Amino acid sequence: MRDNHRPTVLIVDDTPENLDILVAALSGRYSVAAARDGERALKVARRQPPPAIILLDIMMPGIDGYEVCRQLKADAATRDIPVLFLTALADVDSETKGLELGAVDYIHKPISVPLVQVRVATHLALAQARHQLALQVEELVAAARLRDDVDRILRHDLKGPLNPVIGFADLLRDEPELNKEQRECMDLIHGAGLKMLDMINRSLDLYKMEQGSYELIPQPVELLPLLQRVARDLDFQVQQKHLSIASEGEAGHLLGDEMLCYSLFCNLIKNAIEASPEQGQITVTVADAAPGWVVASIHNQGAVPASIREHFFDKYVTAGKSSGTGLGTYSARLMASTQHGDIAMESSEDVGTTLTVRLPAATANYDT
């Protein structure tokens, strides 16, 4: 009878003396099942619940151990059960054959009880670790599918209902009967709708970048004026934390997509604002770095938590911010990569955090 609270070890050997030794060696820690031939072993292995591990003799009358192992590994219900061969054979070809069939280890005869106990315990622990890892992978896959569904809704399902909101708001704000306050409300609705539509379109652009299907049409861009515009557009957030932003350096003539550059640096400067301490300073510096690159650095006095520094640019990493989506720095790196550039981050408690963006200069030559 099996004890459901203990792992079951199935021992398969046609020699009664070997069975007695192995049962005595393992029954103190495990529930033990025994079989004296291959056909019986297959029947026991296919019961529910299946054994946690199988010790399988190779040389048996009828179905030998190799064939039993082959059938176990061909069956989805039993293929993940670790098989340890019991054998008096010591040649390399025999052991290689068993490992190629899917066995995880060999136990040589005459049987050493301490060795059997250690190897069974080791392979059960490995099997449990593999099982836990498989469960974690399933959870991650399920979470990724959920995120993909949300992305699909944002890209497609929300776009249709949003168009009439924008259109009717545009029509209504031209109605002569509206008073000033009503017209301002319509302007607010229309503007908010356009902003949301732009966010959805930008989400679609990010999706294309991830898929490698975004069509980049590079144009000359002056980076320093663009950064100054970003800083002006974020002035409300800056004032809320009593921060100051200093922009300095060269004009930074680069070759890229102006809207991508705006979104890229808007994300990074927003991140710097959120990470900065109250009354802190953010410094944005632009330099024409040789050969063929424009480099922008964004420094703030806050430090990125050590636990996420290695994953700072990963998707959905939020640095512990409850309101964050985890897409800001991820999308910034994606937009830099799409423009044949890159981003690096350095952070410490003493110095703060510096993000360095490198983009092709207007004189650069590359294949688009």
3-state secondary structure of 86: strand
Which pLDDT belongs to residue 368? 45
pLDDT at 331 over 80: yes
Instruction: Determine contact, residues 314/253, Cβ cutoff 8 Å.
Output: no
d(CA 246, CA 301) in angstroms, rounded, equals 13
Assigned token pair, 184:
């301002």
Tell me which residue of 245, 252, 196, 260 sits closest to 224, measured CA to CA: 252
Task: Write down the H helix ranges in 3-88.
Answer: 16-26, 38-45, 65-74
pLDDT at 151 over 70: no
pLDDT digits over 115-135, tens only?
Answer: 999 999 999 999 898 888 888
Query: What HEC string does 148-213 produce?
Result: HHHHHHHHHHCHHHHHHHHHHHHHHCCCCCCCHHHHHHHHHHHHHHHHHHHHHHHHHHHHHHHHCC
Sheet bearing 352-360, strands edge to edge: 244-249, 281-289, 293-300, 352-360, 342-348
pLDDT digits over 162-218, tens only?
Answer: 778 888 888 887 788 888 888 888 888 877 777 777 667 677 777 788 878 888 899
d(CA 32, CA 92) in angstroms, rounded, equals 30
Query: What would the DSSP string read from start to end of 247-313?
Result: EEE---EEEE-HHHHHHHHHHHHHHHHHHSPTT-EEEEEEEEETTTEEEEEEEES----GGGGGGTT
Which band of pLDDT confidence, cut at 50, 70 and 90, is reported for residue 325?
low
Which pLDDT belongs to residue 326? 61
Please report, rounded to a whole number, the percentage of residues in the chain having pLDDT higher than 90.
Answer: 45
Which band of pLDDT confidence, cut at 50, 70 and 90, is reported for residue 140?
confident
Which residue has better confidence, 259 or 142?
259
Instruction: Determine contact, residues 119/53, Cβ cutoff 8 Å.
Output: no
Assigned token pair, 314:
């990963």
**Domain covering 219-360 in this structure, CATH number:** 3.30.565.10
State the residue for tokens 């990493």: 317
3-state secondary structure of 26: helix
Mean pLDDT within 90-107:
88
pLDDT at 265 over 70: yes
The CATH number of domain 8-134, selected from 3.40.50.720, 1.10.760.10, 3.30.980.20, 3.40.50.2300 = 3.40.50.2300
Assigned token pair, 123:
């392979």
pLDDT at 12 over 50: yes
Which pLDDT belongs to residue 154? 62
> Strand 352-360 to strand 342-348: parallel, antiparallel, or no bridges (unpaired)?
antiparallel
Strand partners, 327: none
**At residue 112, what are phi and psi to the nearest 5 degrees?**
-100, 115
Which band of pLDDT confidence, cut at 50, 70 and 90, is reported for residue 4?
low
Mean pLDDT within 247-256:
85
Tell me which residue of 31, 67, 54 sits closest to 123, measured CA to CA: 54
| Sign of torsion over alpha carbons 356, 357, 362, 365 | positive
pLDDT digits over 18-73, tens only?
Answer: 999 999 999 999 999 999 999 999 999 999 899 999 999 999 988 999 999 999 99
d(CA 293, CA 363) in angstroms, rounded, equals 9
Tally the residues of the chain: 368
pLDDT at 322 over 50: no
**What are the boundaries of each domain within the chain?**
8-134, 158-211, 219-360
Please state, as a whole number, how many other Cβ atoms lie within 10 Å of the Cβ of residue 39. Answer: 13
**At residue 160, what are phi and psi to the nearest 5 degrees?**
-60, -55
> Strand 31-35 to strand 8-12: parallel, antiparallel, or no bridges (unpaired)?
parallel
Would you give the distance in Å from CA 172 to the centre of its chain?
Answer: 46
Give yes or no for a cis peptide into 110 (omega within 30° of 0): yes
pLDDT digits over 304-318, tens only?
Answer: 888 888 888 887 766
Instruction: Determine contact, residues 106/87, Cβ cutoff 8 Å.
Output: yes
Which pLDDT belongs to residue 314? 84
Instruction: Determine contact, residues 44/20, Cβ cutoff 8 Å.
Output: no
Which pLDDT belongs to residue 365? 57
